[in-house]
Structure formats: structure tokens, C-alpha cells
Amino acid sequence: MTDPFGRTIDYLRISVTDRCNERCLYCMPEGYKGWAQKADHLSAEQLVAIAAAAARLGFRKFRLTGGEPLIRADFLDIARGIGALPGLHSLGVSTNGLKLAPLAADLARAGVRSVNVSLDALDPARYRRITGGDLAQVLAGIRAAQAENLFVKLNCVLMRGVNEEDYRPLIHLSAELGAPLRFIELMPLSSTDLLTEKNFLSVVELRRRLDAESPLEPLSDYRPGHGPARYWRDRATGAHLGFIGALTTSDFCASCNKLRLTADGKLRPCLGRHGELDLKAALASGSPEALESLLARAIAEKPENHEFTDNYQPARPMTAIGG
Ligand code: SAM
Ligand code: SF4
């Protein structure tokens, strides 16, 4: 299906929970307690029913995210249900990696093919300061996922003065693992102290800096996922580096191909706008057509651009939308 701006929309990012076992500085407000009640979360059956309706409309790519998706007890049921949809092109998971090692084999069996792992630092103390989590567990998870032939990408959020010393070690790890590393600009998606101009580092500045240290060559046709990253290759190490600059890339939205589904059943046409469509009544009606029609409406309501640069004030934190 195409939206009013001619973009093909065939990618659904599904948040399965707003809860998390980490508390990243840029994602979760200090002392955050605004979790949705369990009863507000869609069931595995409801999530699969929405994905099936999307598949009938032509959606081919699905990603399960959160919050931290792997903490949901019935996560494998959700993955299996979506993994079995006809016409499926890809099923990925975005995770902080803490629970990846024990689950990697089950994920592969459930039909998951790729895993995006957040990795903001390689210094264990700094990793803990940023996320509250244990780096060794995440690294074990990445290796376990690769051992199961899951395609791993690494995600690192850019924070001036917080994790800059980690960028070069992360590039080396990316090369060693053969796992693309994507640098993500901070987005105003939460109300945490970290989201200030002072901490903002643009992908343009980072790319210039990296290129000056060790030349980068553009990989114009390389698109290992379905997201908005633009890729370069670090000639010295061979690492494939993606740059996701939602705030500073002028045509960032031109290739947008996705809708988002929140864990409490709202369809979001754009991450960087407040508009949402509630699917709960359609789910309660049990009518697959009602779901399809709301998905089609969300596509029709996709705006041309996000509003991040317009003094955007997040109404709910990233964990509650789904990254
Ligand atoms: N818990 C999983 C994880 O950390 O990968 C999945 C959900 S998380 C919200 C998805 C992605 O959003 C992560 O790569 C995270 O770094 C990114 N993210 C969260 N808050 C962000 C922000 N304010 N700006 C940019 N990226 C953010
Ligand atoms: Fe949790 Fe992911 Fe947000 Fe970190 S980025 S607090 S791991 S949802």
C-alpha cells in the first residue's frame, strides 16, 4: 500500500510491552512508574491478529520491540504466530540483549531472522551507567544470536560527552563480528535530563570525525534492514557503519515505510507526531475487516514529515511507544 506521499508502507513495528529491564538515560525518565497495566497490553492472539490483518494488506516486514520485548513471558508465541504468516519477508526483534543468550535458539526456531541489539558502550562501568544493565550478558547474547545464524545489527545512541570514547571500540567490535553498527541521533522521545542540546551529537559531525581518523566510503546500495540508516564502510576495519539522523538528515522521512503499533493497541502513523488510532474496539468486534480498515486509515494519515525539530514535546516516553 502507498501513503499519500507515494511511499510504500509494508513494515510494521510492534511493541509487545512498555516495560523494560534496563533504564537507559535517553529513553526512560528517572523513577518512571507510568507503566501501562498488564490488562491494557494486547494479548499474543490480538498482536498476531493485527499482524495477520497487516499481512493481508501487503505488509511483509515485521519487527517486535518494546520496552524490552524479551521480558514478555509469551514472547515466543507472538514470534511464532507472526513468523508463520503467509508472504512474510522478514521478522526481526529489537532488544537490549540482556535475555538474548538463553533465548537465541528459541527465537531462531520461532522464525526470527534478525536481531537489533542496543549497545551504547563497551566499557562495562559506562554501559551500566547509561543503561543499568550488565555488558557481559549483552555480549554473550550477541554471540549466541550469531551462533544461531540470526543476523545481528548493533545500535548505538550518540551522546556528546557520555559515550564518545566508545565509538571506536564499537567499530572494532562491529568489524570483528561482521555486524553492522548504526549510530542513532538522540530524539526528543522522552522527558529525561539527558535530552538536551548539550548532549546532542549529529550523525554528520560524527561521520566527519570518523572519516578524518580513518576514511569512510559510502555504501549507497547497502540496506541490510528496512530502516532509515544510510551506510558507509570503514576502510581500515571493513566495518559497515549506519547513520540514523532523524533530526539532521533533511530527507529523512522520504523513505519512511512503516507504521508502529503500541503495546496498548494504538497504531501510530509517525514516531515523531502525536497522532494515534485505537484498535481496541476493532479487536473487541472480532472483525478482521475492521482491523484492515484502521491499518489502511493509518497509512492514509501518514504525515510527510516528523515534528522533532519543531520543539516537539513527547506525550509518552519511547518505552511506551515502541522503538
Ligand atoms: N529495548 C530494546 C532496545 O533497547 O533495543 C527495544 C526498544 S528501544 C526503545 C529501541 C531503540 O530505540 C533502541 O535502539 C534505543 O537505543 C532507541 N532509543 C530509545 N530512546 C531513544 C531516544 N531518545 N533517541 C534515540 N534513540 C532512542
Ligand atoms: Fe529499555 Fe530499550 Fe528503552 Fe533502554 S532503550 S530503557 S533497553 S526500552
Q: What is the DSSP letter of 34?
A: -
Query: The pTM is what?
Result: 0.95
pLDDT tens-digit series, residues 125-134: 999 999 999 9
pLDDT tens-digit series, residues 123-156: 999 999 999 999 999 999 999 999 999 999 999 9
Residue 319 CA: nearest ligand 2 atom is 8
- The arithmetic mean of pLDDT across residues 7-24, rounded, is 95
- Predicted confidence at residue 65, as pLDDT, reads 97
- Predicted confidence at residue 6, as pLDDT, reads 95
- Count Cα neighbours of 231 within 13 Å in the Cβ-side half-sphere: 19
Between CA 210 and CA 173 the distance in angstroms is: 15
Flag whether pLDDT at 315 surpasses 70.
Answer: no
* 5 lies in some domain: no
Phi, psi of 62, rounded to the nearest 5 degrees:
-130, 140
Between CA 138 and CA 119 the distance in angstroms is: 8
* 108 lies in some domain: yes
The secondary structure of 287-311 as a DSSP string is -HHHHHHHHHHHHHT--SS--TTTT
pLDDT tens-digit series, residues 90-118: 999 999 999 999 999 999 999 999 999 99
Cell numbers describing residue 72: 514478555
Instruction: Report whether residue 28 contacts ligand 2, using a CB cutoff of 6 Å.
Output: yes
Instruction: Report whether residue 66 contacts ligand 2, using a CB cutoff of 6 Å.
Output: yes
Buried b (16+ CB within 10 A) or exposed e, 201-212: bbbeebbeebee
- Strands 266-268 and 277-278, by their bridges, are antiparallel
Ligand nearest to the CA of 22: 2
**Ligand 1 geometric centre to CA of 323 (Å):** 5
Amino acid at 33: K
Residue 263 structural domain: 11-321
pLDDT category at 314 given cuts 50, 70, 90 is low
Instruction: Report whether residue 16 contacts ligand 1, using a CB cutoff of 6 Å.
Output: no
**Considering the chain, what is the average pLDDT of its residues?**
92
Bigger pLDDT: 306 vs 46: 46
Cell numbers describing residue 247: 533530526
Between CA 237 and CA 171 the distance in angstroms is: 8
* 3 lies in some domain: no
* 1 lies in some domain: no
pLDDT category at 317 given cuts 50, 70, 90 is low
Q: How many structural domains comprise the chain?
A: 1
* 4 lies in some domain: no
* CATH for 31: 3.20.20.70
* 115 lies in some domain: yes
Q: Whose CA is nearest to atom 17 of ligand 1?
A: 323
Phi, psi of 278, rounded to the nearest 5 degrees:
-90, 125
**Ligand 1 geometric centre to CA of 213 (Å):** 27
- Predicted confidence at residue 311, as pLDDT, reads 65
Residue 66 CA: nearest ligand 2 atom is 8
Amino acid at 3: D
* 93 lies in some domain: yes
Instruction: Report whether residue 16 contacts ligand 2, using a CB cutoff of 6 Å.
Output: no
- The arithmetic mean of pLDDT across residues 293-315, rounded, is 83
* 156 lies in some domain: yes
Between CA 303 and CA 174 the distance in angstroms is: 35
Cell numbers describing residue 236: 581500515
